[in-house]
Amino acid sequence: MPRPICALISKDLVRATDTSMSSSDAKITEAELENDLGPRRVYSTSPSSPSRMPAFASVLAVIAILYFGKDVLLPLAIAVLLTFALAPISSRLRKLGMPRIPAVIVTVVIAFLVLVLFGLVVAGHVAEVAQNLPAYQGNIIAKIRSLQESGTDSGIVRRLTSVVESVGRELSNAEERPAAPGTGSRPREPVLVEIFAPSRPIETLTSLIGPLLGPIASLGLIIVVVIFMLLEREELRDRFIRLVGYGDLHRTTEAIQEAGSRVARYLLMQLVVNCAYGVPLALGLWAVGIPNPALWGMLAIVLRFVPYIGPVIATVLPLFLAFAVDPGWSLVLWVGAIFLVLELTSNNVIEPWLYGSRTGLSPLAIIVAAIFWAWLWGPVGLVLSTPLTVCLAVLGRYVPQFEFLEVVFGSDPVLDPKERLYQRLLAGDPDEATDYAEEFLEEDYLEDYYGKVAIPALLLAEKDRRRGVLTAEQMEQVFGTAITLVSNLAEIAQEEEQEEEEEEEEEENQAAGRPSPPKEGNGDESELPDGRGKTVFCVGGRGPLDDASAAMLAQILQIQGAEVVAARHSDIPNRRAMSLVPKQSNAIVVCFLNEDSTRHATILVRRFKRIYPAIRVGAVLWVENQKERQPPALGEADFVATTLTSAAREALADAPPSLVTPVRKIRTRRSSNRTGIAAARSGI
């Protein structure tokens, strides 16, 4: 049942107000700043770290080495990645009892036999498709002409038609050419003459084997390197640690293990995902009648290792073949439907199920890495781009000199949630801040968000204010954006409030029927008290940032069922806050982001306590780590809190207010000199 709410945030919280304090408060502020940090000064934002030019020059040198040494480094890179992929298989065979050398040899032989067989099958199907292509040119020309006749004629279609027809004329027999005009006979054809030389077996063998020597040598080198890397894997690991990370064994070991597990998991899971895509594709294309369906399924398995570009190529080729084979359009539609179903299934079912296919790279980083490695090492570099970039991201995570690689390529947020929120508050962007908050609130409650993200973000702003880098205009902008954020989250707050009411009604119903079982643990530590029937007044201590924290606390108290009135710090000097405090209030809470403001907090608490002795008055000195600790004593304060949970708990507590010693009025006796002077003047 809805309750009348006195006020969540007063109108003074929404509009910008004058932030000037009274002269006494201003003196206190300046004095505290002088004592805490000395004279205010603006800190330079230039980094104090040494120049990054040596690191940049090192990166350029590495790129140059990779580019000019690709003939040697490319086989080594392939061998390293294959070693990462085959190492789990070899280790599993060794655990089953097979000796090291046989386990390594069996693993390598099986892997390369599969690769060679795969390549031979693909080559055979490609040759068959190439032989059948001239037979499909008639269907292509007929379809393009039908597009022209249907009224879709355009410059692109005309150019495409001319290109196809010219290719068809080149492929047609030369004997079908018309005779030259003015003559009754065909032009005389040139006679082909072939010069035969004596057969030399060595030269013939050289001409046949010469083009194959390079690929065969590279393949043999890769096989040998993979075998030795698998055999000497532990020795190579120890040498690498001694070479680059002997001073920090823990960090180096973590880097090696993470790089190996990431690459191996990516290659294995991506292979499983691609096979789960390619095998159904081949079966579907076979069912609808596409020639060489095994070829397109196998190409899809390989091409999907290439990020973003590979799946597109694997889709276009069968669609073009369906366009060329079938005189009609039904086959093209069937092939398109097959790819659509497979893409939806792969992206929404298979890949989320096989979560290990994630690489820890951002999507933009994958695209940029694909472009870079394709430029560096050609098509093979395009296939290897993702595993190599994963290794670079791991290097950036564990080596401080290459931390920029993790920042550029990694998918993890580079800013903490509190830093991201503070950046959005500075930029005056409440919409994006609300989006981040809603993502956080999908799993946690508003109390957790304010306590772990929003209040720490305001504490960062308070640090900048104390350093002198945050101007008054920026503080007002941060305050306005924070208040807008609180207003945007009001709907979520109402939902949580309704949940609280439903849970309380359910507990009351259960208690009316039978006694409820005792709860495990201390309920006060996990749940906030019920605030129904209570009124709380929240006010900022000494600045706009404190006002924002007070508004957040007010919303949390409202969720618990309390009626809340909030005011700004600027209402305190001119005594507006004194008139805003409801007479039926149960607690007055003053919020401070600067935990060193104990003197100012003592003054405000004493002032409220003298005016409202029957109301509990307390202060909140927010801390960054959000862990409850012993707060400082503030004289007459009924409570002092340091976290959002403790502040809400104290504000809604049923404890009576502490007694206040009445102020003793001291009458001063008039000076005797002044009396004597007055008497003398009267005598005159």
Please tell me whether residues 496 and 634 are part of one structural domain: no
Q: Is residue 438 part of a domain?
A: yes
The model's pTM = 0.61
d(CA 473, CA 460): 16
The CA-atom distances, in angstroms, between 72 and each of 12, 69, 229 are 71, 6, 16
pLDDT of residue 233 exceeding 60, the answer is yes
Please tell me whether residues 421 and 401 are part of one structural domain: no
* Range from 134-143, 465-474, 508-517 carrying the lowest mean pLDDT: 508-517
Tell me: the pLDDT tens digits for 553-602? 999 999 888 899 888 888 876 655 567 788 888 899 999 998 788 888 88
Q: Is residue 296 part of a domain?
A: yes
Tell me: the pLDDT tens digits for 117-175? 888 888 888 888 877 777 777 777 777 777 666 655 455 556 655 655 565 555 555 44
470: DSSP letter: S
Instruction: Answer with the one of 355, 386, 409 that is the final residue of a domain.
Output: 409
Question: If DSSP codes are grouped into helix, strand and coil, which group holds residue 41?
Answer: coil
Query: Which residues make Cβ contacts (< 8 Å) with residue 563, sequence separation at least 6?
Result: 3, 4, 5, 6, 7, 534, 535, 536, 582
Nearest alpha carbon to residue 572 among 555, 553, 588: 588
The CA-atom distances, in angstroms, between 212 and each of 126, 201, 205, 322 are 18, 17, 11, 34
- At residue 458, the pLDDT reads 92
| Mean pLDDT to the nearest integer, 620-636 | 72
Average per-residue pLDDT in the chain?
75
Please tell me whether residues 457 and 319 are part of one structural domain: no
d(CA 553, CA 464): 22
Q: Is residue 632 part of a domain?
A: yes
Please tell me whether residues 282 and 386 are part of one structural domain: yes
Domain limits for position 265: 249-409
Q: Is residue 634 part of a domain?
A: yes
Please tell me whether residues 568 and 633 are part of one structural domain: yes
635 within 8 A of 603, measured Cβ to Cβ: no
Please tell me whether residues 558 and 475 are part of one structural domain: no
| Mean pLDDT to the nearest integer, 191-213 | 61
Query: Which residues make Cβ contacts (< 8 Å) with residue 298, sequence separation at least 6?
Result: 118, 121, 122, 125, 278, 282
d(CA 424, CA 485): 11
Q: Is residue 281 part of a domain?
A: yes
Nearest alpha carbon to residue 67 among 525, 377, 408, 293: 377
Nearest alpha carbon to residue 573 among 618, 607, 602: 607
Q: Is residue 580 part of a domain?
A: yes
Please tell me whether residues 377 and 469 are part of one structural domain: no
Q: Is residue 237 part of a domain?
A: no
* DSSP string computed for 183-220: -SSPPPPPPP--------HHHHHHHHHHHHHHHHHHHH
Q: Is residue 563 part of a domain?
A: yes
Q: Which residue has the higher pLDDT, 181 or 393?
A: 393
Please tell me whether residues 562 and 462 are part of one structural domain: no
- At residue 71, the pLDDT reads 82
Q: Which two tokens stand for residue 350?
A: 């298979």
Instruction: Answer with the one of 409, 429, 455 that is the final residue of a domain.
Output: 409
Please tell me whether residues 321 and 394 are part of one structural domain: yes
Q: Which two tokens stand for residue 516?
A: 């409820």
Instruction: Answer with the one of 409, 433, 458 that is the final residue of a domain.
Output: 409
pLDDT of residue 207 exceeding 50, the answer is yes
Please tell me whether residues 473 and 572 are part of one structural domain: no
- At residue 548, the pLDDT reads 92
Please tell me whether residues 486 and 433 are part of one structural domain: yes
Domain count, the chain: 3
Tell me: the pLDDT tens digits for 244-299? 655 667 667 777 777 777 777 777 788 888 888 889 999 998 998 888 888 888 88
Question: If DSSP codes are grouped into helix, strand and coil, which group holds residue 52?
Answer: coil
pLDDT of residue 509 exceeding 60, the answer is yes
Out of 175-184, 207-216, 380-389, 421-430, the most confident range is 421-430
Please tell me whether residues 255 and 374 are part of one structural domain: yes
Q: How confident is the model at residue 49 (pLDDT cuts 50, 70, 90)?
A: very low
pLDDT of residue 48 exceeding 70, the answer is no
